[in-house]
């Protein structure tokens, strides 16, 4: 009786191994596995999540403009301008009371004229040393050590930079 049981167990084991060896390989062997077409089912990262380099803060800031970026949005009357260190220049939009060419559409015309006030370093008077109305294109060269504050029509600070 022992012989038939051993033979039955070994026959069952041989049949199982033979089924594993003779089984077809690949996707045909497992018809329940989903095989996508190329490009289908792949995750596509949205544009706003793509990696972007961090903007580099310049190592050199000769006029300390980064220190005064908190002034953006403040009205010019709330700032004691002679108290700011170094040379300063304030640029605000100006207008011409004379004849105006409305060929470009009046309100849509780019503001060409600006009023430029320049303060010397250490100047204690509130009055600017140079006050001039000029065209924006002819502001002159940028000076790296000079703090430039740009205002809008109502007198609120729009930009603080060196130049």
Helix (H) or strand (E) holding 116: strand 113-119
Residue 108 has pLDDT above 50, yes or no: no
Task: Kindly report the pTM of this predicted structure.
Answer: 0.55
Predicted pLDDT at 149: 92
How far the first Cα of the chain sits from its last, in Å, is 105
| Domain assignments of the chain as residue spans, ordered by start | 65-101+110-162
DSSP characters over 62-122 = TT-GGGGGGGTT-BGGGS-GGGSSS-EEEEEE----S----TT-GGGS---EEEEEEE-TT
Residue 143 has pLDDT above 70, yes or no: yes
Residue 87 has pLDDT above 60, yes or no: yes
Region 64-70: mean pLDDT is 87
Region 115-126: mean pLDDT is 78
CA gap 135, 91 in Å, rounded: 11
Please tell me which of 20-24, 27-31, 158-162 the model is most confident about, judged by mean pLDDT.
158-162
Predicted pLDDT at 151: 93
In angstroms, the Cα distances linking 153 to 46, 117, 137, 144 are 39, 15, 18, 26
């Amino acid at each position: 009786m022992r012989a038939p049981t051993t033979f039955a167990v070994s026959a069952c084991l041989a049949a199982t191994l033979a089924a594993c060896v003779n089984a077809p390989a690949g996707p045909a062997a497992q018809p329940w596995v989903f095989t996508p077409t190329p490009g289908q089912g792949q995750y596509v990262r949205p544009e706003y999540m793509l990696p972007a380099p961090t903007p580099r803060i310049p190592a050199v800031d000769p006029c300390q403009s980064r220190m005064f970026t908190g002034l953006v949005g403040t009205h010019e009357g709330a700032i004691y301008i002679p108290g700011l260190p170094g040379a300063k220049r304030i640029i605000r939009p100006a207008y011409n009371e004379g004849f105006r060419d409305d060929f470009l559409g009046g309100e849509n015309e780019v503001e060409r004229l600006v009023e430029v006030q320049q303060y010397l370093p250490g100047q204690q008077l509130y009055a600017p040393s140079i006050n001039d109305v000029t065209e924006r294109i002819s502001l002159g060269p940028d000076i790296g050590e000079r703090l430039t504050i740009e205002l809008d029509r109502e007198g609120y600070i729009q930009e603080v930079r060196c130049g």
